[in-house]
Amino acid sequence: MADAELDREVRIAIARSIKTRGKIPTIATVAADLGKHVAAVDASFGRLADGRVLRSRKGSHEVYAYSPFSAVPTDFFVTAGGRVWFAIDAWDALGIPAALGETGVIETHCADCSESLVVEVEANGDTELQTWTVMQVGVPARDFWKDIDYTESTIQLFRSEEHAERWRDKAKPPATTILPIEQATALANAWYKDKLDPDWRRFTTEEAEALFDELALDPEFWRLS
């Protein structure tokens, strides 16, 4: 079997496990599900990580995150589809309902003042008007993968734009953009709504930039090319 064919089977198996078991599977689990040798599936996980389809744990090819889903507990706690999920950052948390096709409730805290925040998101990305809640991103899109761990640490929810700006003054990220919650959920929905589909593929640069333009995001901050 060609690597590309196996990688597709492995990706679909990961997505199926998320939908049916409610969790990201291990390499051994996927190997058992597909009836493949563990070494071959391990190599496939590595290729999927190289292609930015998933994030590996340090020191192995086991999944750290199959975005928007995190394999480890985080400060972004999402209830959707009768299950509890975790996300690495605010963007991913808002995208979990879209990926599952379910209404979801995101619970976290304001990154500035630590006050609890709760956001309900419909499967189509709609959310109740919450003019006080915003999402801030602290690294320009073209630089996201230079240090993805740092980038994700800057993608946070805040109880207001004032709190986002106060956090920015303390954290001093390289650049920032602030999205109203309705714009943030629309972005997350468009980005992740088909992540668990068999025919999912990553956006091309052109497709991503067209989406950012469609959502009226800051063209300079969100430019990839």
Q: What is the pLDDT of residue 1?
A: 66
**Closest Cα to residue 25, out of 212, 196, 200?**
196
Please report, for the chain, how many H helices and E strands are present, in that order: 8, 10
Q: What is the pLDDT of residue 129?
A: 63
Residues in the chain with pLDDT values less than 70: 1, 129-131
Distance CA 45, CA 60 (A): 10
Q: What is the pLDDT of residue 132?
A: 81
Q: What is the pLDDT of residue 177?
A: 97
The token pair that represents 46 in the structure block? 């590595």
- 3-state class of 3 per DSSP? helix
Q: What is the pLDDT of residue 98?
A: 96
Distance CA 146, CA 56 (A): 16
Q: What is the pLDDT of residue 74?
A: 97
